[in-house]
Structure 1
Amino acid sequence: MRSPLPQINDKPEHAEIIARLPNEWTAWPQDSGSSNAMARTSVNTPGKTLKKSKLAWPKRPVVFISDPHADATAFEASLIAAGVATQRKTGLGKLKLTKSGRKTEIIIGGDCLDKGPSNLALLRSVKQLYRLKARVTLLAGNHDLRLIMGLLALARKKDIGNQHFFVRMGKKVVPLFKEVFEQYLADTKWDKKIPDEDTCRDILFPNDKWFEAFPYHAAGQLTAEGIDREVRKMRSKVQSFENHCLAAGLSLRHVYAASLMCQKLFLHKKGEFAWFFRKMKLVEKRGSFLFLHAGLDDTMGELLLKSGIKYANKAFHRNLKHRDLFGFYYSSIANTFRTKYRDADLPLTERGVKAIHKAGIHVVVQGHVNRQQGQRVTVKKGLIHVEADITLDEHSRRSEGLDSYGIGATLINKRQGLIGISCDYPTAKVMKPQALRQIYG
């Protein structure tokens, strides 16, 4: 039987990648279930079989790579591991597509930004795929959207709903500001029009009245648990954000100058990274598979049923551009890249799952939920989820006791089924098409 593992060119540039990847495959292991699942079942438990006509596979092969978190080395190694790219020579940005890569859709599942080691290098690695004319779909992640929300909040009139969004980005955005300052501002007269430290603090931070006023402002839009969680989170971030900046060698004047440069780089039409948010989508559907960053709720399920994928993606961009930031970030649209099905999140119930199934969606492929033992298939809220965030970035791996950068990808192919490859699991996980149909749908 032909191995389902991708073919990787055996060349010196690939030696380290090949050495760290599994060279054997096994049937997808049983899942112990999800603590948040409405219907708990292992992936090998016989149940209601999906009819063949209902489970449609993507027409072309898909490679899903999520949560690279500013680690270009991990991202490019994962493309090579998936068999869609090869290195022309040593170093970042030296990829070319393989024959398989030219036929495959590469879906980036969000969270390109934050953590490290380099946000700008990761963005340039993604951009090279567009230059190579790869079939790329870029999805919105919560860390990506935190940046644009913070930048837009600075550009708009300050109010109770938006004044916390800059500091809300937290310590994980500090490395980006440091990179931007060092690469674009350090050797310039950057401080000529930047106000003093206290004025910068007033511009960047929520005012003293925010903590009292926000719960009333958010009433009716957030759950009670969501409001409490947001206020607690902001108290912590307001107290620590400036210290994290100082630890990175940045004053608030540096940070404000870097944020203005980020506005030029990301938000202006001719900015170097203007393509990043412009190309971003909220969701994408291929066959019966829905690709997104985090998850769904009842409102989004019904929206997908009644209005479809194109409408959802258009609504994502129109709301981000025209709606007040508070209304956008705490809506069902933003819940799609933020939810972990907690009490504080907008709910997904049986009603929403029914609408999702009627929309022809039977499998959600997501990032956002960090996995240290490779990909997992589980049933959450009665809906099949493929959790594909396998801890790629070196920063997270170091804090979790994992070695080096991560390597791995999730492959979806109508002939071979679902394949999970991770340098942190001893074999590739393979679920044949028929096995996937056996999971409760």
Structure 2
Amino acid sequence: MLNPIPAIKPHSHHTEIIARLPTEWASWPRDKSSVNNHVLNVEETPSHYTKHKLRWPKYPVVFISDPHADAMAFEASLIAAGVAERKKKSDLGHLTLTKKGKQSEIIIGGDCLDKGPSNLDLLRSVQQLYRLKARVTLLAGNHDLRLLMGLLALARKKDVGNQHLFVRMGKKVVPLFREVFDQYLADTKWDKKIPDEDTCRKRLFPGEAWFKEFPFHAAGFLTAEGIDREVRKMESKNQSFEKHCHASGLSLRQVYAASLKCQQLFLHKKGEFNWFFRKMELVAQRGSFLFLHAGLDDNMGQMLLKSGPKYANKAFHRNLKRRDLFGFYYSSIANTFRTKYRDADLPLTHRGVKAIHKSGIHVVVQGHVNRQEGQRITIKKGLVHVEADITLDSHSRKVEGLTDYGIGATLIDKSTGIVGLSCDYPTAKVMTAKELEGIYQEGHNEGKNHEVKN
């Protein structure tokens, strides 16, 4: 049975956005056709697990993840969630908070950067939320931190652990350099102190010896699968990065100049986007919900149990200041915004899940895992995950055969439960608090992989 969507009321003048959204909601779809996908009904929950009660966030949460430099998609998603409006019909950067927006917390799940089409406008849209005094929590994404690692590696003395980190950003960062060059350098004498093309190439790219030395350097930090994956990835990026720069109309001199400007914009105290990495957090716990970009591992589970999320965030920022970029980027802290629970990633086992549950965390809300048909709730390693990366940016949507920019958000509030809103699914998916508690009990009881179908 379909019903009007609860608690979502975009202003009527946003006709283009409203026209692309579902107008009704239905209970979160479930697939009971296979044992592996089975989820306990609430009445099936063992009585001795009822003591593990879910605690809901103090404020209603609007979770938007992986906007990937699409400011239009990001702002449309805020409007669709009912937390913001635009004074003008279509202009970016003219947001105001609604009554609901003032009462809610907006959690941005990471990956604000890369792909395009509007890295800088996206950052300015996020910055405007801070200026509006919205409750905003900005989480670290792997694409965001890759930029930071690349810029820091370029600024520091080369070693085996850091000399690949600039090129490792890959083709998806090129649109940012194009934007920075066009907006800040194109009409200036940018080339006055920039070395020749060959010198820029040597400064940007890892040396040939890196490919032989890195596996030994990474031994003990990465799994064998992780080392092999890293080397293969760098072989590909080393060969293609310059081609992608040229395809966007940038020489390596221009890329180098743009990267120096990015250092000024993001890293210098008075830089326009200095706030971006400074405000970033690794995790955010709200009640029994843990918000992060990717996932957890055993080490992070133990850290959360023993020291809590505030300590994890403090450790994140302390480690960002380390001279050893390698030690940070391949650590358990960085695994939190990179993992997909692959063999190449640091493991999450029953030991880690037990620690996470014991710390009071029962649901992980994440981005990073791309979904083309709206959000998914799944049980991974015995831990409930809400996957909320729903392909917002127009660049990715074009590659995936989807039209226009994406619109969607995940709303979490005890009064309505979890609402998955996406322009790519015919209804809003709603899971009530009671239903979610039943799913949590199943994950807690079984400790295996299960999932709720789209």
Match of 2:326 in 1: 326
Q: Give the residue type in structure 2 aligned to 1:413.
A: D
1:167-246 equivalences in 2 (<5 Å): 167-246=167-246
RMSD in angstroms over aligned alpha carbons? 1.6
Distance 1:180 1:51 in 2: 54
Structure 1 residue 156: deviation in Å? Answer: 1.1
* SS at structure 2 position matched to 1:114: coil
CA contact (8 A) 2:375 2:387 kept: yes
CA contact (8 A) 1:82 1:409 kept: yes
Structure 1 residue 59: deviation in Å? Answer: 1.1
CA contact (8 A) 2:292 2:337 kept: yes
CA contact (8 A) 2:4 2:25 kept: no
Determine whether 1:58 maps to 2:60: no
Unpaired runs of 5+ in structure 1? none
* SS at structure 2 position matched to 1:206: coil
Match of 2:10 in 1: 8
Per-residue CA deviation, residues 72-93 of structure 1 (Å, 9 max, x unaligned), is 0000000000000011113001
Match of 2:70 in 1: 71
> What is the number of residues matched between the two proteins?
435
Structure 1 residue ranges, 4+ long, deviating more than 2 angstroms after superposition: 31-34, 39-54
CA contact (8 A) 2:5 2:428 kept: no
CA contact (8 A) 2:295 2:340 kept: yes
Distance 1:120 1:206 in 2: 28
1:353-364 equivalences in 2 (<5 Å): 353-364=353-364
Structure 1 residue 54: deviation in Å? Answer: 2.4
Structure 1 residue 51: deviation in Å? Answer: 2.6
Could you state the TM-score of these two structures normalised by the residue count of structure 2? 0.94
Structure 1 residue 364: deviation in Å? Answer: 0.1
CA contact (8 A) 1:88 1:95 kept: yes
* SS at structure 1 position matched to 2:295: coil
Structure 1 residue 41: deviation in Å? Answer: 3.8
Match of 1:247 in 2: 247
Structure 1 residue 48: deviation in Å? Answer: 4.3
Distance 2:316 2:307 in 1: 13
Structure 1 residue 393: deviation in Å? Answer: 0.2
Q: Give the residue type in structure 2 aligned to 1:107.
A: I
Could you state the TM-score of these two structures normalised by the residue count of structure 1? 0.96
Match of 1:390 in 2: 390
Distance 2:374 2:32 in 1: 14
Per-residue CA deviation, residues 408-435 of structure 1 (Å, 9 max, x unaligned), is 0000001110000000000000000000
Per-residue CA deviation, residues 283-332 of structure 1 (Å, 9 max, x unaligned), is 00000000000000000000000011110001001001124100000000
* SS at structure 2 position matched to 1:188: coil
Q: Give the residue type in structure 1 aligned to 2:127.
A: K
* SS at structure 1 position matched to 2:420: strand
Match of 2:343 in 1: 343
Distance 1:27 1:323 in 2: 50
Distance 2:204 2:434 in 1: 54
CA contact (8 A) 2:195 2:253 kept: yes
Match of 1:165 in 2: 165
Structure 1 residue 7: deviation in Å? Answer: 1.1
Distance 2:320 2:39 in 1: 37
Distance 2:132 2:33 in 1: 40
Determine whether 1:264 maps to 2:277: no
CA contact (8 A) 1:205 1:238 kept: yes
Residues 232, 45 of structure 1: alpha-carbon distance in 2 compared, 3 angstrom cutoff = farther
Distance 2:62 2:184 in 1: 34
Distance 2:393 2:37 in 1: 31
